[in-house]
Structure 1
Amino acid sequence: MQLKITEQQNKGLFADCTLPEHEWRIARLREEMEREGVDGLYLTQETNVRYASAMQDVAWVIHAYFYTVFIPRDDTLPMALFVPNGGQIQTQASWIDTVVRWDFPPGFYMGKVGDSLIESLGEWLRKLGLDKSTIATEMSAHFRLGLSVEVLDGLREALPDVEWRDCGPVVWPVRSIKSDEEVRRLRESVRISCLGIKAGFEALEEGMSERDLVNVMCARMFEEGGSEIKFTSLYAGPDRVLWADATPRREMKINHGSLIQFDGGCTYDGYYTDIKRFASLGEPTEDQRRFYDIARAAEQAAIDAVRPGVTYGEVYEASQQAIRDAGYPEFVERAQSFRWTSIGHNIGLDLHEMPGIAKDNAAVLQPNQVICIEPFFFHDGGFPIWTVPNKYGCEDQVLVTEEGHEVLSSDDLVSRDIWVV
């Protein structure tokens, strides 16, 4: 077939990062490819393509618009964006020179989409001499492939001599260490989210619905410059305690005596916030305060452990030791027996990124990683969750610094104390 190739004349017009930062990202991806024995990286997930190309496009929400990027390990070979024919206008936001255009079928995206992409990528790899190589793409649970299974199967059939691997070992070591600009965006995302949470709790009153409360928070986040609000979880009262990551409901009214948990935040120029705060409509009971304080002590112990060179597993263990010290070693044992052995995650362009804060994770914390720490504790140490009347926790976003750490979602922005109305 004849490849439809465009060499960009106006690249980087609306790029998501500077050219030096883009070059830094690509160089590090190539270093990891070398370390892992990978010849090329074929990225399809929106956030991976955005990270590696600096291109953004609203059409990603249309699932049949496959925007993908190929990065060879050999820096003498060209990188290429693969876009549907007509999408080359959007690629001017990228720093990548070469655009390979593939065609929609008759009927546009209502027909069988992808055959032209399969042919185009196959021909491109043959052109580069990589049709018998090792290619990494999104194949593990921590990614969402930006192609249909039909297209992936077609690529495997069209390229029988390619060894396909998961790209996680290449991508996550690079994406987990943020640039100064990424840290700036994460910091601003946290600031805006905290202002939104505070505005919501200040407006809290009996009879509001969960959705009413979250709408107040979200409105303030947008007023302060938030870009999108993709993840907000809120539940109020004992009837909702089993709803982990609950979607706020219009029919669920907040009554006197309710504990309210908010979890989430906004994005700022693509970068997420994920923090958790509690409020109470009326004074919380003595037990509620005590159990919340145990969860908060577990979180603080984990935060105190954060510094370069410490493993993610050691951060997890610090939180669990605080729960043991509070007199509840059996809670830790039961949680571990159910394999509930994670207390947080990395964050950036995705809400949950790797390596993640989990038991026995030997990955080492490094400067400019941003993590969310969120250990939990159940009422009176009960376990599992469906046996208890409430659950407690606090979550903060923490930057690993050269000397230790910085809590981005500090009490100065929104207190970790239970907000009492």
Structure 2
Amino acid sequence: MTREPTIFNEARLRAAMERGGIDLVIVRGNENSRYVSEFFHNGGNLGYRPFTAFYFRDPALKPALIVPAVDLHLAMTQSWIEDVRAYAMAEFFTDVDAHFYVDFFEAAKDVLKERGVSGMVVGTEGENLTSGFRQRLDALLDGNTIVDVSFTLEIVRMVKTPEEIRRLKRACDITILAHESFREAIRPGATGADLHRATCARMIEEGAHGVNFINIGCGPENSFAAHAPFPNDHVMQRGDFAKVDMGAMYLGYSADFVRSYFLGETTERHRDIWSWLNETQLELGHWMRPGMTGGEVFDRGYSLISRHLNKFPREFVGHGIGLGSHEQPRMNAVNRTVLEAGSVICLEYSYYHDGVRHHTEDTFLLKDDGVEHWTAACGRELVVSM
């Protein structure tokens, strides 16, 4: 049964291909292949099992998707692409009565031959491909002009479709609810592991399809850490610091959200730093408009925080989010990517003081006339009462 894509913005990619004179795009990277095919495969992290989509600018040339045999039936069910082919990998036959190619390149050779790919401009992910795969793919594409479309794909994916926005908003809502459980678990006698369990359980309870990531700083052994991957057994007491950077997963899309706390009490300097970070972040978020560049947002954000904190240490103050955790537009000093309505943007500020890393992050949907602040309802009080 055929269907129209709901995540993949076909018109946006085709327009980008028109501007660049690109006839065919071949994508193998996890995020790009999922985006174009809408098949949310879990095996692409295994380098020897490529999942690869072929998309042509000419609508008369139908797209194709090549997957390992073990994933063929699910790909045929999930992808909007009708021509799904498989190569022998993990299994030599399945419940689908179909020809399995010896390897990916045999399948790709047939796709290219059937569609008369010769003398075309072909876009690949260039340096983002593994060297061995790229060499064999380049050889297969001999007689065509090969260009790197990695950045083009980033810009295409920057503006979200309504279905992408729905999924991202749901992931964000779940993460906010899970944060309530994190905050409630901060009390004397609780450990970092207790905070972790409470947060993850709430994500699943609220309908998440997984915990994309959760980094908890709890107590002096990792209060300074940006990304502490494992919960610790530090027993919290008055004056301790706790922070969580986390994102629930919903239908392949994740949130990204941070808050920081002290238990019971802290110093005036800590309170000032936290206030400045949050005030600046919110002012910058509500200032954003389509047409600005990532660099302009960074420059303003850096100028705002520099009123309070000299030599602010961050290289960026925000990023887009989608299938990837950090996407365009990236808010750093050199980024000239133009912000567009339909982008989902995370702004974040952090600062080190007295052994802890203050960190706050909020999510905004950029609209034609301003922003929709998705994390506005989540409190930002620094001190949790005992």
Q: What TM-score comes out, normalization by structure 1 length?
A: 0.82
2:106 is matched with 119
Cα distance in 2 between the residues matched to 1:164 and 1:51: 21
Residue type of the partner of 2:88? Answer: D
Secondary structure of the 1:240 match is coil
**1:42, CA displacement in angstroms?**
0.9
Secondary structure of the 2:264 match is coil
Cα gap change, 1:169/1:34 in structure 2, threshold over 3 Å: closer, same or farther?
farther
1:372 is matched with 346
2:233 is matched with 251
Cα gap change, 1:41/1:254 in structure 2, threshold over 3 Å: closer, same or farther?
farther
Does residue 295 (structure 1) correspond to residue 280 (structure 2)? The answer is no
Cα gap change, 1:167/1:245 in structure 2, threshold over 3 Å: closer, same or farther?
same
One of 46, 66, 71 as aligned partner of 2:50: 66
Cα gap change, 1:104/1:183 in structure 2, threshold over 3 Å: closer, same or farther?
closer
Secondary structure of the 1:284 match is coil
| TM alignment of 1:404-419, pairs within 5 A | 404-410=370-376, 412=377, 414-419=378-383
2:98 is matched with none
Cα distance in 2 between the residues matched to 1:222 and 1:64: 32
Secondary structure of the 1:238 match is coil
Cα gap change, 1:131/1:252 in structure 2, threshold over 3 Å: closer, same or farther?
farther
Residue type of the partner of 1:80? Answer: A
Does residue 40 (structure 1) correspond to residue 24 (structure 2)? The answer is yes
Residue type of the partner of 1:123? Answer: D
Residue type of the partner of 2:366? Answer: V
Count of residue pairs the alignment pairs up? 377
Point out where structure 2 has 5 or more consecutive residues left out of the alignment: 94-100
One of 80, 87, 111 as aligned partner of 1:102: 87
The ranges of structure 1 where at least 4 consecutive aligned residues each deviate by more than 4 angstroms after the TM superposition are 58-63, 105-108
Deviations, residues 250-308 of structure 1 (Å, cap 9, x unaligned):
33443331111111220111111101111211212111111111221221232132122
One of 357, 369, 394 as aligned partner of 2:360: 394
Cα distance in 2 between the residues matched to 1:304 and 1:193: 21
Residue type of the partner of 1:124? Answer: V
| TM alignment of 1:17-416, pairs within 5 A | 19=4, 21=6, 25-60=9-44, 63-85=47-69, 87-90=71-74, 91-104=76-89, 116-139=103-126, 145=129, 149-326=131-308, 328-329=309-310, 331-332=311-312, 335=313, 340-379=314-353, 389-410=355-376, 412=377, 414-416=378-380
Cα distance in 2 between the residues matched to 1:393 and 1:299: 11
**1:105, CA displacement in angstroms?**
8.9
Task: Verify the 8 A CA contact 2:126 2:134 in the aligned structure 1.
Answer: no
Once structures 1 and 2 are overlaid, which stretch shifts more, 311-320 or 392-401?
311-320
Residue type of the partner of 2:40? Answer: Q
Deviations, residues 139-158 of structure 1 (Å, cap 9, x unaligned):
356xxx5xx54333222233
1:384 is matched with none
Once structures 1 and 2 are overlaid, which stretch shifts more, 249-258 or 34-43?
249-258
Residue type of the partner of 1:41? Answer: V
Cα distance in 2 between the residues matched to 1:216 and 1:35: 50
Once structures 1 and 2 are overlaid, which stretch shifts more, 398-407 or 128-137?
128-137
Cα distance in 1 between the residues matched to 2:68 and 2:26: 16
**1:60, CA displacement in angstroms?**
4.4
Secondary structure of the 2:112 match is helix
> Please, what is the CA RMSD of the aligned residues?
2.5
**1:100, CA displacement in angstroms?**
2.7
Cα distance in 2 between the residues matched to 1:345 and 1:115: 41
Once structures 1 and 2 are overlaid, which stretch shifts more, 56-65 or 179-188?
56-65
Once structures 1 and 2 are overlaid, which stretch shifts more, 262-271 or 154-163?
154-163
Cα gap change, 1:64/1:191 in structure 2, threshold over 3 Å: closer, same or farther?
same
**1:346, CA displacement in angstroms?**
0.4
Task: Verify the 8 A CA contact 2:247 2:257 in the aligned structure 1.
Answer: yes
Once structures 1 and 2 are overlaid, which stretch shifts more, 58-67 or 166-175?
58-67
Secondary structure of the 2:190 match is coil
Cα gap change, 1:50/1:161 in structure 2, threshold over 3 Å: closer, same or farther?
same
Cα gap change, 1:404/1:106 in structure 2, threshold over 3 Å: closer, same or farther?
closer
Cα gap change, 1:168/1:253 in structure 2, threshold over 3 Å: closer, same or farther?
farther
Identity %: 29
Secondary structure of the 1:363 match is coil
Point out where structure 1 has 5 or more consecutive residues left out of the alignment: 1-9, 13-18, 109-113, 380-387
Task: Verify the 8 A CA contact 1:134 1:162 in the aligned structure 2.
Answer: yes
